[in-house]
């Protein structure tokens, strides 16, 4: 969506840049990847400044977008309904934008490719952005090198292919799971976790699960990587991997409960320190700080 908006603005429809700040307002509160969006706007703004084409509009969009990432919708009284309405409006705006492939498209894929390599779960973003670019290029190549004679499939063959695709789609829908697979998450610790006190130190990969399943228990860290760089992530690793200042960090963050994989070095260290094991299975162990 942001790609389309920026490209359309670059082509002359700069009025569309007014959608950038509200887009960042929503994006910031949904996923930590908003930092990538800021980088993309900065790229366009830099080009506009260097080429002296709509520099004020792009620079203003970049600054207002950055400011929007600092706003907490909750403090403004914006609920889920307002957020959904804004998302619908931005999606409708994106559907109205058309573009053609340029060299800038390829350059913009570089940060997305880096993001995909940095975390496997981010690769779909690169795939979504790259598909139109690759498809356009493949179509152009095919138009240049296609055979002079055109082979047309008979209608029965086309009908058979269509029926096969429909069968595959129906099978996929029928066999699709109706609930997420939580077998790798600390399901057994949910009830015990609600009764713990103090701040919780949780496994990085479980942050989103805990925010969804135990919303009343704030997590220490979750998958929104950019939000926690660099200090919080460094402190998290200091504790979990029992580095020199792990005890000081536990006290500084007032950690009262720890929910980690059983093989984490911190788990063994806390057992030796007298922390109580509230629950444990093959996936997770929940420990509570001893009462003094």
**pLDDT on residue 17:** 86
Q: Provide the token pair at 56.
A: 């004020």
**pLDDT on residue 7:** 85
Q: Quote the CA–CA distance of 208 and 140 in Å, as a whole number.
A: 42
Contacts of 195 (CB under 8 A, 6+ apart): none
Q: Provide the token pair at 58.
A: 């792009």
Q: Could you report the per-residue pLDDT of 108-141, keeping only the tens digit for each?
A: 666 777 667 666 677 787 777 777 766 666 666 6
258 beta partners: 201, 287
Q: Quote the CA–CA distance of 269 and 260 in Å, as a whole number.
A: 12
Q: Could you report the per-residue pLDDT of 147-196, keeping only the tens digit for each?
A: 555 666 788 888 888 899 999 989 988 888 888 888 889 998 988 998 88
Contact (CB, 8 A) for 253 and 220: yes
**pLDDT on residue 285:** 96
Global pTM? 0.54
- Residue ranges per domain, the chain? 2-141, 187-288
**pLDDT on residue 117:** 64
Q: Quote the CA–CA distance of 266 and 253 in Å, as a whole number.
A: 15
Contact (CB, 8 A) for 287 and 258: yes
Averaged pLDDT in 10-residue chunks for the chain of 292 residues: 82 84 78 80 89 88 86 53 46 44 59 68 75 68 61 80 90 84 89 90 94 92 82 94 96 96 96 94 94 75
**pLDDT on residue 289:** 94
């Amino acid at each position: 969506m942001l790609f389309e908006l920026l490209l359309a603005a670059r082509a002359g429809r700069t009025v569309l840049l007014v959608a950038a700040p509200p887009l960042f307002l929503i994006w910031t509160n949904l996923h930590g990847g908003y930092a990538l969006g800021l980088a993309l706007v900065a790229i366009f703004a830099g080009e506009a400044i260097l080429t002296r084409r709509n520099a004020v509009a792009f620079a203003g969009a970049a600054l207002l977008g950055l400011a929007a990432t600092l706003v907490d919708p909750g403090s403004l009284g914006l609920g889920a309904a307002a957020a959904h309405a804004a998302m619908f409006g931005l999606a409708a705006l994106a559907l109205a934008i058309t573009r053609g492939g340029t060299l800038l498209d390829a350059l913009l894929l570089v940060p997305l490719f880096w993001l995909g390599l940095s975390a496997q779960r981010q690769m779909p973003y690169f795939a979504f952005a790259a598909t139109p670019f690759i498809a356009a290029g493949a179509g152009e190549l095919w138009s240049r090198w296609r055979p002079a004679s055109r082979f047309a499939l008979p209608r029965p063959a086309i009908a058979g292919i269509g029926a096969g695709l429909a069968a595959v789609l129906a099978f996929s829908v029928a066999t699709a799971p109706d609930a997420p697979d939580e077998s790798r998450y600390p399901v057994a610790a949910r009830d015990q976790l609600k009764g713990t006190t103090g701040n919780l130190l949780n496994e990085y990969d479980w942050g989103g699960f805990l925010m969804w399943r135990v919303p009343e228990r704030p997590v220490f860290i979750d998958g929104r990587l950019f939000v926690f760089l660099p200090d919080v992530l460094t402190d998290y690793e200091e504790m979990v991997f029992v580095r020199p200042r792990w005890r000081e960090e536990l006290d500084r963050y007032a950690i009262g409960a720890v929910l980690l994989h059983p093989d984490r070095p911190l788990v063994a260290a806390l057992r030796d320190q007298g922390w109580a094991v509230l629950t444990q299975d093959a996936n997770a162990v929940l420990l509570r700080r001893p009462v003094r």
